[in-house]
Amino acid sequence: MYRSILTYCVLLVLPLYGQGRTDSVAEKNRGKSVSINVGLNMVMRGFNRIILKDEYAQINLRSMRTNLKTWPVWDTNRFSTNFIGHPYHGSMYFNSARTNGLGFYQSSSVSMAGSLMWEYLMETKPPSQNDLWATTIGGTALGETLFRFSDLVLDNRTTGLERVGRELLAGILAPTRLITRLTTGEAWRTGQSRGNLLHVPSYWLKLYFGETVTGTAGSNPSMWRSVLGIELLYGELFETVAGNPYDWFRLTGEIRAGNNYLHLSQANTLGLMLNKELLHNNGTRVTAGLFQHFNYYDLNGRTNNNTAPVYISEAAAIGPGIIVQKKKDKSTVQFAVHLSGIILGASTSDHFKLEDRDYNFGSGFSLKLSSSLQFKQRLTISLFSEDYFLFSWKGVDDYEVLKQLTINEIDFLNVQGDKSSTMLNLLGLTMKYSLNKRVHVVLRARSFNRNTLYTYFSSVKHSLNELFFGMSVNV
């Protein structure tokens, strides 16, 4: 037993001592990165055990030994826990390394190590393979975007309330960065420079807000929600030669609120891993690259208890893309095509309901198309389509058995959900009119469509339509 734990702990630390290029000016401190992650896991485990008194947190040497002998399974946690909670947790592991001078790939290995420690040693439940993928790869996608975002927020020249606000906002984006700054005293130390750890490129940050109305086909009434969102475009794609991953990326997040209702409805990142310019001639530019994708949609389209929500997840995905841009006079036209292989994704299930699970895990691929026309820097019209093809091959064969399972049997059931193949489509149109250089009027229409082909049930088609009207402000 002790030999297994010792071997495991050595494996956790070894990735930190690999060779890896870093773009950060921070001094490398591998030991601090390890200690922050171990401490983070211990604090979260203590909170779950002592405060929440969760059964799965009552770990001991026996549970650790059992888990070290157990192959990872598909778990039964809720959609938001698995596909935004765990990636955000992974981003904290990742950013403990980035803040302490490690590069992108070394930091990814730290996310993996932190996830392995949590899954095998910090829970009595069997290790979860979807958590390992989501925390490591999804955590890397969120981690690098949030690390670079926090670098834009922090400014060591500021004082007073502005300094406190910047530190707190950066701490929400990258909590382990705030922990590091508190332990070094940098959180309150002032200087003549901003104190950025990375070179700051050109970027565009927008906040948008408004109202959205959502409805499903044949259902009444429709739902109104207030929306607050953020868009960050980091770097100039056609001017970027990707020396490091995520020298260019796009980040979107959206929160919806209503009567006794508040949740994160959307989170998307698209990060450039490497690229090559194919054409630059007479106002026409073409570039191709390899991109990491992270997409999360949790749209509560339920107008009654019998209508399924809209779930789309692309937690671990990577693939090629090509972008074409043409400028003429005062107009700009852009077209993009992205193809990705999905290691871990998920979509809504109409039949599989077990504990907090009402969705199917799956793997597959996605195809994304987008085009935009900007006319005289006043009016921008964008069309976009996202298609996801997910396949769930390890599913339930006997649904009557699910009703008789014990808690322990549920933990080891190890299925993706229903045996099925799912086609998901998001089709949208956005129109933006500039009132001045900072303020814009925004109209957005989107349609979400799902077609699930089940092995043991009839096919199900479901659609959700929404219309958003609001304002956006350049920050």
- pLDDT band at residue 22, thresholds of 50, 70 and 90? low
- Name which residue leads in pLDDT, 64 or 305: 64
Separation between Cα atoms, residue 353 and residue 417, nearest integer Å: 9
Q: How many CB atoms lie within 10 A of CB 104?
A: 23
**Residues 292-312: tens digit of each pLDDT:** 999 999 987 554 455 678 999
More confident residue, 224 or 320: 320
SS3 275: strand
Residues 314 and 341: beta-carbon distance below 8 Å: no
What band does 11 get if pLDDT is binned at 50, 70 and 90? very low
Q: Which residues lie below 8 Å from residue 269, measured CB to CB, with a gap of 6+? A: 141, 142, 145, 249, 250, 251, 252, 292, 293, 294
Percent of the chain with pLDDT over 70: 92
The lowest-confidence range among 8-22, 158-172, 269-283, 371-385 is 8-22
- Its pTM surpasses 0.85: yes
Question: What would the 3-class secondary structure string for 302-344 be?
Answer: CCCCCCCCEEEEEEEEEEEEEEEEEEECCEEEEEEEEEEEEEE
- Predicted pLDDT at 25: 57
Helices (H), 345-450: 399-402, 407-411
Place of tokens 């990707």: 242
Highest mean pLDDT among 74-88, 219-233, 289-303: 74-88
User: Model confidence over 429-438: pLDDT tens digits?
Assistant: 999 999 998 9
